[in-house]
Structure 1
Amino acid sequence: MKRWQRRAAQTVAAVAVLVVLASIVYHYTLVAIEGRAPSYFQSTQVVVEIFTGTGFGSDSPWETPFANLLVIVLDLSTFLLLFVVLPYVFQPILEERLTPTPPRTTESTEHVVIAGDQTAQTDRLLEEFRARGVPYVLVVADADVALDRDDSGVSVVHGDPTTADALDRANVDEARAAIVNTASEDVANCVLAIRELTTDTQVVAQVRDPSLRNPLQYAGADTILMPRRLLANRLAGRVRSLFDPRISDVLSISSEFAIVETTITEDNPFCGLTLEAAGLDDESDVTAIGLWDDGEFVAAPPTDTVLEENASVLVAGPEERLKDLETRLPDAPSTDGRVVIAGAGEVGSTVRRRLEDAGIDCTLVDLVDREGIDVQGDATDERVLREVNLEDASVYVVAIGDNAEAILSILLARNLARDIEIVARVNDSDVQSKARRAGANYVLSLPDISARLIAMNVLREDLLSYDRQVQILRIDGDRLAGLTLRETPISTTDAVLVAVERDGQLLTDFDPDFEIDPDDRLLIAGSDDALDAFATAMP
């Protein structure tokens, strides 16, 4: 029995006892003091009328002071019952009946179970699944959060995702995969709960602590992802490629084709030129297939687009030509070769470790005085940035966990050091464009990387660039077979067709009437939003 049910039963019993006792006292007052001779049931009726406020004029007036005082006490007791006791009992009953409750079961099968709700990452996952038409169920422990999710159209089951009961109600044994999205300390419990119910469902776990890898494998996880570490390694790799010409940031797609992201600095020979003048148009074997304009990715930019300072450009072409282009286009200014890192969390400390292993001088700034910190201070304070001589550094890595603070620090850094390369991480996909508008040259989103990794492991998507600012997706051409390029969803979204693999050859030159064969394999580039829109529009 629930607490409110016990409370209601106890209160009803107490009221019944009160009515009986009051009836006895009232009855004998009339008999012994007033000199009347009513039956006991008549006295009980009058007491009930008093308590319910429905009237009791049949017995008035009372002749003795005691009888009048008794009636006064009973009248006052009516207020006690109506305004104190009854709400105490009936309010929880009404709340129980009228308050909406989140769903506790699902009928879904061949779906993806997401165990746990870490908002930013969960939202990005849901976007991936919705865009691709993949059924899912989100298991949430908090009832209010579950209700909010349900109201917003999310398929949800209310329950503790670390318990077999909640996972059973989410039909995890009939799911195609289960994604463990709980706090790190609960991941092992969640994996064990899933394996208690099924050994067939694929289990993908996300963790922050690398030391959890072996325990989770023992618990039964099939795939263990560490998005933060991957993000940190990618940021470090990006910075290293700016310093060491022997390290290329070119992403090889095939033996004949590759892409690279480059920043147009002030001393870059392309700065101020149009794409056509820079030789990055369709007439060249090296083509700009996208760039960031005011924080937004623009696919297939017009040839008259001017390459402005601090613009980021996505270039495609033969791998050797791109590597040669890298050596001729300086990304980082010639300063003291030092990197300033803001934020000493897992991402920031990993970036520093990777860079120092490569012999790059780093200065680590954090608000909290901890081991390895070079300067204690707030990276959103201009005085602290001046203290670390940011103006003389080559690269500024913003690894702050708070999005608002990261944006503020980027703004200050760009104002202090106009030519510095700013590399940043953010915790929300929607903040990426703001970070670029604030002055960041290279931005990665943790939820995006998490979603891309899961898409590779759960949806079996052939992603070639899950750790870059832009995704490169390889898809089979059978779903678009017989359509010309102008008839495909590519023409109506911000995605761009980079290349087509056909009969062992790589085609990179197409016109709008290019027809897709069923045996083709298409390489499509774009932002996460662009590829989600493309997946949604796919026939």
Structure 2
Amino acid sequence: MHVVVVGAGEVGSYVADRLSREGHDVAIVDLSSSKLRRLDDSLDVLTVVGSGTHPETLSRAGIEHSELLVAVTANDEANLVASMVGKSMGVKQTICRIEASGLRGPAAHAVREASGADLFIDPDAETAAEVLELLDFPGADEVAHMANGEVVVIGASLPAEAPLVGRTLGDIAEEFEPDWDFMVASIGRGEETIIPRRDHRLEAGDHVRIVAKRRARRLVIELLGLAKHTPKRVMLLGGGRTAEILAKSLTSRGVQVVVVERNPERARELAEQLENCLVLEGDITDDDLLHEADVGRYEMVVALTGEDDANILACLFAKANGTTETVAVLHRLALLGLLSGAGVDVALSPRTATANGVLRFVRGGVAAVATFLHGDAEVLELEVANSSPADGSLVSELDLPKDALIAAFVRDGKPQIGRGKSRLRAKDHVVVVAMPSSVDEVHRVLG
């Protein structure tokens, strides 16, 4: 597939990198020649200097033979125009980043329609949503919902005291016969991602990804050795748009929220808009300020600024002073490997939510895609097609690659965990955990 990405910032460069590594033909457009020079040194993509709103620039990027345009600059208006111009030049589908509330509301419906975009994304709102999902699974570092929420995917590192440690998957399966409510669908061990089978034994420190029925939430929390109490006090470090969205959602749940913002004008603005929040003006790395705010009293601290170093340092300070769970938004993913065991419990990135939306279009015929910062495995939701190899077949009979696993399926609104004896039917929504190299074969089998 040929894909044109407009915007070489954090989100655009990540999308371009991910797609190019999968063998797609990618062109990335940006006004900044310096940004593109840096990408030239690290990515196997075509770089085009110019405005993504100009037909001549998009033509140089190969828009006439592109299947997808992804407009993810920091300028909403430029993204809308890029989508409109791309569609006028024949691109099949476009994805458009919009953050301004004035362009996302009902009054701007005609504007969005005129852009021709097939999907609108908002990385800030998606990041806020990820934090909210973590509240329901304290101690987990990944949460994704599939099949209209009937199936949940939970990722977490196993502490030594977790009941699953030291057990094989076969032993675990036998304990929960005859009707499984969950499945261990992937194991991250060191740099390796394993799509496991019955003889795999779980070890302390493994990063496991469990696919479960929605009703199994409490059971999964217990087996993973996670905290059982939802945080009631949350401190948000940084008062940007993500923090504002998150604060409003948290207070609506009855959570006590404190926001720390460095910019005096922005702090005053937040204080006026967030009626049920305490807003403190100051630097998130100011240890005196955090001491006075009694940071250790908060069960969750989320660092959301655009400065990775400040986010990490603030989380370390909070953890050292007694905070139960710390969450840092990362913009430089190279830092991810340094955080394990260092006092940052969860790392989030605005990039992954965007990548999930893009990959759903690239994969084709996929209802949902979830990717994560830990490992390369993807979780996909697909519908079994009439007369496909899977229609009427047992899971054990399917010719699936070894690094792909049918973890669950939903039929008539009821979730079931995938087993060898499960018989699939047309219209079933199937949740598959697979490495990127196996996705095409999964498509062939499920239709």
TM-score computed with the length of structure 2 as normaliser: 0.72
Contact 1:336 1:392 survives alignment (8 Å): no
The aligned amino acid for 1:123 is S
Counterpart of 1:456?
A: 360
Aligned pairs for 1:222-241 within 5 A = 222-239=118-135
Determine if the alignment matches structure 1 residue 190 to structure 2 residue 100: no
Matches of 1:353 and 1:255, distance apart in 2: 22
Aligned equivalent of 2:304, options 386, 396, 399: 399
> In the alignment, which residue of structure 2 is the partner of 1:78?
none
Alignment pair present for 1:343 and 2:253: no
CA 1:407 to 1:271, structure 2 compared with 1: closer, same or farther past 3 Å? same
Match of residue 160, structure 1, among 44, 51, 55: 51
**Alignment partner, residue 508 of structure 1:** 418
Structure 2 unaligned segments of length 5 or more: list them: 272-277
Change beyond 3 A, Cα 1:432–1:336: closer
Which amino acid is the alignment partner of residue 353 of structure 1?
K
Seen in structure 2, the aligned counterparts of structure 1 residues 367 and 463 have a Cα distance that, compared at 3 Å, is: farther
Greater fraction of residues in helix: 1
Does residue 179 (structure 1) correspond to residue 70 (structure 2)? The answer is: yes
Distance 2:171 2:304 in 1: 32
Match of 2:431 in 1: 523
Q: What amino acid does structure 2 have at the position aligned with 1:367?
A: R
1:360 aligns with 2:255: yes
Question: Deviation of residue 352 (structure 1)?
Answer: 0.9
Give, in whole Å, the separation in 2 of the partners of 1:328 and 1:263: 12
Q: For residues 403 and 487 of structure 1, do their structure 2 counterparts lie closer, same or farther at Cα, with a shift above 3 Å needed?
A: farther
- CA apart distance, 1:192: 4.5
User: Could you say which structure has the greater relative contact order, defined with CA pairs below 8 angstroms and 6 or more residues apart?
Assistant: 2
Alignment of 1:435-454 (within 5 A): 435-454=339-358
Which position in structure 2 is the counterpart of 1:473? 380
1:462-491: CA deviations, max 9, x gaps? 264638767411357979999999996544
Q: Alpha-carbon deviations, 1:438-463, whole Å to 9, x = none?
A: 33333322111111111224543626
Within 2, Cα distance between the matches of 1:296 and 1:136?
Answer: 27
Q: Is the 8 A contact 2:3 2:26 kept in 1?
A: yes
**Aligned-residue offset at 1:125:** 1.2
Identity within the alignment, %: 17
Alpha-carbon distance change, 170 to 433 in structure 1, aligned in 2, over 3 angstroms:
same
Change (3 A) 1:520 1:341: closer
Greater gyration radius: 1
**Is 1:498 paired with 2:419?**
no
Q: How do 1:346-425 and structure 2 match up within 5 A?
A: 346-369=241-264, 370-371=267-268, 372=271, 374-417=279-322, 420-425=324-329
| 1:496 positional shift | 5.2
Q: CA deviation at 1:294?
A: 6.9
- For the pair 1:124 / 2:124, whether they are aligned, the reply is no
CA distance in 1, matches of 2:147, 2:230: 33
Q: Whose strand fraction is larger, Structure 1's or Structure 2's?
A: 2
Q: 1:199 to 1:440 in 2, by over 3 A?
A: same
TM (norm. structure 1) is 0.61
Measured after TM superposition, the shift of residue 406 of structure 1 is: 1.9
Deviations 1:354-388 (CA, angstroms, capped at 9, x unpaired): 10111110111122231236222332343333222
SS in 2 for 1:386: helix
Q: Give the secondary structure class of the aligned counterpart of 1:374.
A: strand
Inter-partner Cα distance in structure 2 for 1:255 and 1:449: 17
CA contact (8 A) 2:72 2:97 kept: yes
Task: Let me know the Cα RMSD of the aligned residues.
Answer: 4.6
Q: Distance in 2 between matches of 1:139 and 1:358?
A: 41
Instruction: Mark the CA change 1:250 to 1:144 in structure 2 (over 3 Å): closer, same or farther.
Output: closer
- Secondary structure at 2:102 match in 1: helix
Decide whether the 8 Å contact of 1:210 with 1:226 is kept in 2.
no
Cα distance in 1 between the residues matched to 2:95 and 2:48:
19
* Paired positions, count: 407
* Per-residue Cα deviation, 1:303-349 (whole angstroms, up to 9, x for no partner): 653556xx865333444334455489885476983111111111112
Q: Which runs of 5+ in 1 are unaligned?
A: 1-109, 244-248
CA deviations on 1:8-56 (whole Å, 9 max, x unpaired) are xxxxxxxxxxxxxxxxxxxxxxxxxxxxxxxxxxxxxxxxxxxxxxxxx
Residues 306 and 385 of structure 1: CA distance in aligned 2, closer, same or farther (over 3 Å): farther
